[in-house]
Amino acid sequence: MKLPPVEYEAPATVAEAVDLLGEHQDEASVLAGGQSLIPLLALRLARPALLIDINGLQELAGVSASNGWVAVGAMTREYAAEESSLIADTVPLLAAALPLIGHEAIRSRGTIGGSLAHADPSAELPAVALALDAELVVRSRSGERVIPADEWFEGFLTTTRGADELLVEVRFPRAPQATDVSFTEVARRHGDFAIVGLAASVTLSDGAIKDARLAFCGVSDVPVRAALAEDLLVGEQPSASLFEEAARLATADLDPPADLHGSSEYRKKVAATLVRRGLHAAVGNADERQ
């Protein structure tokens, strides 16, 4: 499948990119790593008149820390984030999810911002952003605004980003002390899109759970936070029966979509299993670190 004809601009600055986006809005698609957009073009599922290629915008690539947050430029490639010791040390849930994205050659090009702007509900990064209450910074000709992750994901491949807005940065909070994490998923083959995945982060204090974060991918048209289960866990001592109850609460209201990879009922069962598995993995790690 070849790509359909399309106009192409490669702006040299973020300001130029934002101007182009302001001018063309819905007629334009922003080309970041291209690992999802190029297939969408090839399959004729996206038909933009113009591609705005932001690969030349070095100012959008890089990881930095400030005031309890870690800022990841939207054009930071997934392999670069994977190699970042700052991310490994301060945002362990992101570090745990990165190696599960696609395959090595995909992560060579794919970007943090691209994955979050594409908002595939089966992808890992949207679940991570939601679990951690990440913030997404978008820029338009009228300025910048910061969108919390729980207001970002609107539907299947749809976000609340305005047509004139460019995602420029994603901010993740630094993990507190004694936090550990797991990203568990079930996929047909390693590297395939997850049938269901779970981002889990647990902070312990004196043996009790002080903070718990759970977010699924692959169970809806958006990533889903398991707030009821998180509330149950906080203040409790980790135990198998607690995790069992958390799994029940986390999945009680789920109504996952069915496709050729699994029925709705199957996905729900996998989701419950991942809650138990993910919590055991995370708490086991956190215990060792205490």
From residue 165, alpha-carbon distances to 13, 20, 140, 180 in Å are 15, 10, 5, 34
DSSP letter at 91?
Answer: -
Residue 237 exposure: Cα atoms within 13 Å on the Cβ side: 3
Distance CA 154, CA 150 (A): 9
Return the residue of 11, 102, 121, 278 that touches other proteins, per CB under 8 A: 102
- Nearer to other proteins by Cβ, of 41 and 147: the residue is 41
Stretch that binds other proteins, among 68-76, 98-106, 217-225, 274-282 (CB under 8 A): 98-106
Minimal distance, residue 28 CB to other proteins, in Å: 13
User: With binding defined as CB under 8 A, does residue 83 bind other proteins?
Assistant: no
User: φ, ψ for residue 144 (rounded to 5)?
Assistant: -110, 150
Site for other proteins in 191-210 (CB under 8 A): 191
The strand pairing partners of 153, in sequence order, are 159
Return the residue of 46, 109, 248, 273 that touches other proteins, per CB under 8 A: 109
The strand pairing partners of 70, in sequence order, are 65, 172
Return the residue of 12, 25, 27, 42 that touches other proteins, per CB under 8 A: 42
Return the residue of 35, 84, 182, 201 that touches other proteins, per CB under 8 A: 35
- Nearer to other proteins by Cβ, of 78 and 180: the residue is 78
User: φ, ψ for residue 89 (rounded to 5)?
Assistant: -80, -30
- Nearer to other proteins by Cβ, of 123 and 271: the residue is 123
With CB under 8 A as the rule, give the number of residues binding other proteins. Answer: 31
Strand order in the sheet with 143-148: 63-66, 69-73, 166-173, 135-140, 143-148
Minimal distance, residue 189 CB to other proteins, in Å: 7
Token pair, residue 216, equals 């699924």
- Nearer to other proteins by Cβ, of 108 and 220: the residue is 108
Return the residue of 26, 85, 143, 189 that touches other proteins, per CB under 8 A: 189
- Nearer to other proteins by Cβ, of 90 and 184: the residue is 184
- Nearer to other proteins by Cβ, of 77 and 225: the residue is 77
DSSP letter at 114?
Answer: H
Contact of 243 with 154, CB cutoff 8 Å:
no
Return the residue of 67, 190, 241, 253 that touches other proteins, per CB under 8 A: 190
Return the residue of 44, 103, 141, 289 that touches other proteins, per CB under 8 A: 103
Burial of residue 150 (number of CB atoms within 10 Å: 0-12, 13-18, 19+): middle
User: φ, ψ for residue 207 (rounded to 5)?
Assistant: 85, -10
Site for other proteins in 127-186 (CB under 8 A): none
**Strands 7-9 and 50-53, sheet pairing:** parallel
| Packing angle of the helix pair 264-289, 240-252 (nearest 10 deg) | 140
- Nearer to other proteins by Cβ, of 32 and 149: the residue is 32
Minimal distance, residue 69 CB to other proteins, in Å: 28
User: With binding defined as CB under 8 A, does residue 41 bind other proteins?
Assistant: yes
What residue ranges bind other proteins (CB under 8 A)?
1-8, 10, 31, 34-35, 38-39, 41-43, 51, 53, 55, 79, 102-106, 108-109, 189-191
